[in-house]
Structure 1
Amino acid sequence: MGNQHMGPNAQGTSYHVAGHQDNGRQGDALEVYFECITTCSLDDGACVTRCVEELREQP
């Protein structure tokens, strides 16, 4: 029951945003960020932090 909110990337694997940024639009970076955080458990701060860090690394 506690894992029902966990997506495939919530087990410690990194969600990669590379490849989704080919056109360089900031809106795409935000879309990928939101896709990333929806894979995180509601109480998994480390997962959300990884998503934020990957968003910050985008040009």
Structure 2
Amino acid sequence: MGIVPHPSHVTGADLLAMGIATSSSTGLDPVETYFECITACSIDDGECVTQCVEVLREADR
């Protein structure tokens, strides 16, 4: 099964550069400040798997 890998660390700026809007571009998203998610999709059948991990991020000062 072929998998299209996604970077292990994609920031909101990276998503904006790819033309993907994020909720953080319209304001603070509490979920995105606590979790980082990675999605990989099969090129064979299009099935995607998303895994999220807890991350500690510094609060905006």
TM-score normalised according to structure 1 size = 0.30
More RCO (CA 8 Å, sep 6+): 1
Q: When you count strand as a share of all residues, which structure comes out higher? A: 2
Q: When you count helix as a share of all residues, which structure comes out higher? A: 1
